[in-house]
């Protein structure tokens, strides 16, 4: 019987660094990294039929319906570069999308779920500490990348601001939303013994090292 190919699903709370780690793993394994956010932006930029439909929702700040997301994901997975496996970032985000994915891949792949775990307090510190310059686009962090002069951009000297999505109250709501949607992924991974949990509060290189160490055991 032919060995099933591997699919890796990265998930974790906002600010966990899962996007960064998924890209690095994709480069290491030679697998495409598929981000729903990137797919939507490309479809919208190309003004494709799917992109135009998605734009009706994104321009109002609404989530794109699962049916439309499924069509976009299905079109991407039909490309040849996914034949030997792929990495997903930002999808599936709930039980319905997980069911859609399982229907697409059937038994051709083994699905591994990589959970990048970060505590609520650390998530709030990471995200609420972000500062951006609306004038030139430069970004800073009050703890990890502070500007030379508090509240002012090093590049152009303009005043820095905090995005609405990065304010503590909004971050707490994003965390609550994440925990609700992550529950089906955790349940699936535990049931099928394909859940890999990583301590995301370590340094970026250490998180990457831990992921690689566990993945190597799977692909030997």
164 contacts: CB under 8 Å, gap ≥ 6:
170
Distance CA 36, CA 93 (A): 10
Active site annotation includes 190: no
Q: Minimal CA–CA distance to 131: which of 99, 102, 166, 103? A: 166
130 as an active site residue: the answer is: yes
Question: Cis omega (within 30 of 0) on the bond before 63?
Answer: no
| Contacts (Cβ under 8 Å, ≥6 apart) of 111 | 7, 9, 101, 102, 105, 188, 192, 194
Looking only at the bridges linking them, the beta strands covering 85-89 and 5-11 are parallel
Query: In sequence order, what are the residues at sequence separation of 6 or more whose Cβ sits closer than 8 angstroms to the Cβ of residue 61?
Result: none
Q: Is 93 a catalytic residue?
A: yes
Q: Which of 76, 93, 126, 208 is catalytic?
A: 93
Known active-site residue 18: yes
Residue in 76, 130, 131, 208 annotated catalytic: 130
CA–CA distance, 151 with 126 (Å, rounded to integer): 17
The active-site residue out of 76, 126, 131, 174 is: 174
Q: Which of 163, 167, 179, 206 is flagged as catalytic?
A: 163
- Candidate list 18, 76, 126, 208, residue with the active-site label: 18
60 is catalytic: no
Which residues are known to be catalytic? 18, 93, 130, 163, 174
């Amino acid at each position: 019987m032919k060995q099933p190919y591997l699919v890796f699903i990265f998930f974790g709370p906002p600010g966990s660094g899962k996007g960064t780690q998924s890209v690095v793993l994709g480069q290491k394994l030679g697998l495409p990294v598929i981000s729903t956010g990137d797919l939507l932006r490309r479809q919208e930029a190309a003004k494709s039929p799917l992109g135009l439909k998605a734009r009706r929702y994104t321009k109002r700040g609404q989530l794109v319906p699962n049916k439309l997301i499924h069509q976009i994901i299905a079109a991407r997975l039909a490309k040849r570069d996914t034949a030997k496996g792929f990495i997903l970032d930002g999808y599936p985000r709930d039980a319905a999308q997980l069911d859609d994915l399982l229907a697409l891949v059937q038994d051709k792949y083994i699905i591994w779920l990589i959970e990048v775990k970060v505590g609520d307090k650390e998530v709030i510190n990471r995200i609420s500490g972000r500062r951006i310059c609306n004038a030139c686009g430069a970004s800073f962090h009050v703890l990890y990348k502070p500007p030379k002069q508090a509240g002012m951009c090093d590049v152009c000297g303009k005043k820095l601001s905090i995005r609405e999505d990065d304010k503590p109250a909004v971050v707490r709501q994003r965390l609550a939303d994440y925990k609700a949607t992550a529950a089906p992924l955790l349940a699936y991974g535990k049931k099928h013994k394909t859940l890999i949990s990583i301590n995301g509060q370590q340094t970026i290189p250490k998180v990457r090292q831990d992921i690689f160490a566990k993945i190597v055991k799977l692909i030997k």
